[in-house]
Amino acid sequence: MSITLYNYVLSGNCYKVRLLANLLNIKYETVAIDFHPGKEHQSEPLLKLNPAGTLPILVANGQVFTETQAMLVWLAQQHDPSCSWWPINNANQLAAVVQWLGFSSRLSATIGELRLHSMLNNTINIDSAQHGAKICLRELESHLTEQRIIGQQWLTGDQPTIADVACFPYTALSPDAGIEHDEYPLIRGWLHALRSLDNFLTMPGIHELHELGSTIRDKT
């Protein structure tokens, strides 16, 4: 089986794919794309693969995927015999996973855009993105609080799924967008649980010290 990821190391969406591949021990190749400053993702050869001009792009056995969520579904469905990361045998949980995949798009559209603005000076409506980002984080905190009450550590149950993977990067990276995690203790705990998974893979910009500090603070 041949899997190739067109990758940019600082892209949160590319990282979702690398993270899941690592967690599931999936072998793949990467093609490094000069996203910045080269804008190679908008060059002719890349636009032939993905007319939307975005990364990541995944080519798996000749099939081209241009949406991160589809890549996560495909990787989990192909490589997770336990069906826990993409729980196809449980309709309620499966629908909840899809719901949180949708939520991950809101994180990309707010925190992701703010991060691109602070890193690359992209033009965006900062107030609206910050407002949207805070609404997302409050919603996530409140959901994790409800999950904690019913004894579940993850977004949709007592096992992590691709929904947790999809929501992790931009939540973890929100300090890059100027939004710290101090007000969100349950989010900090969930981020920490994700980092503690076997085969967790980090990326540049995913801070550790802040959360560890918070965990220690919470215990005292």
Ligand X SMILES: N[C@@H](CCC(=O)N[C@@H](CS)C(=O)NCC(=O)O)C(=O)O
CB of 113 to ligand X, least distance (A): 9
Q: Which is nearer to ligand X, 55 or 76 (CB)?
A: 55
Q: Is the dihedral of CA 34, 38, 42, 45 positive or negative?
A: negative
- Strand segments, DSSP code E, in 27-177 are 29-32, 57-60, 63-65
Beta-ladder partners of 94: none
In the numeric block, the tokens 């794309």 are attached to: 33
Q: Does 54 sit near ligand X (CB under 6 A)?
A: yes
Q: Does 11 sit near ligand X (CB under 6 A)?
A: yes
Q: Does 12 sit near ligand X (CB under 6 A)?
A: yes
CB of 199 to ligand X, least distance (A): 22
Looking at 21, 55, 133, 140, which residue binds ligand X (CB under 6 A)? 55
CB of 145 to ligand X, least distance (A): 27
Q: Does 141 sit near ligand X (CB under 6 A)?
A: no
Count of residues interacting with ligand X (CB under 6 A): 9
Q: Does 67 sit near ligand X (CB under 6 A)?
A: yes
Give the footprint of ligand X on residues 101-120 (CB under 6 A): 116
Q: Measured between alpha carbons, how far is 30 from 64 in angstroms, rounded to an integer? A: 14
Instruction: List C-alpha distances in Å: 44 to 52, 81, 158.
Output: 12, 38, 44
- Strand segments, DSSP code E, in the chain are 3-7, 29-32, 57-60, 63-65
Q: Which is nearer to ligand X, 71 or 140 (CB)?
A: 71
Q: Measured between alpha carbons, how far is 202 from 173 in angstroms, rounded to an integer? A: 11
Q: Which is nearer to ligand X, 83 or 201 (CB)?
A: 201
Q: Does 41 sit near ligand X (CB under 6 A)?
A: yes
**Beta 3-7 vs 29-32: how paired, if at all?**
parallel
Which residues sit at the interface with ligand X, rule CB under 6 A? 11-13, 41, 54-55, 67-68, 116
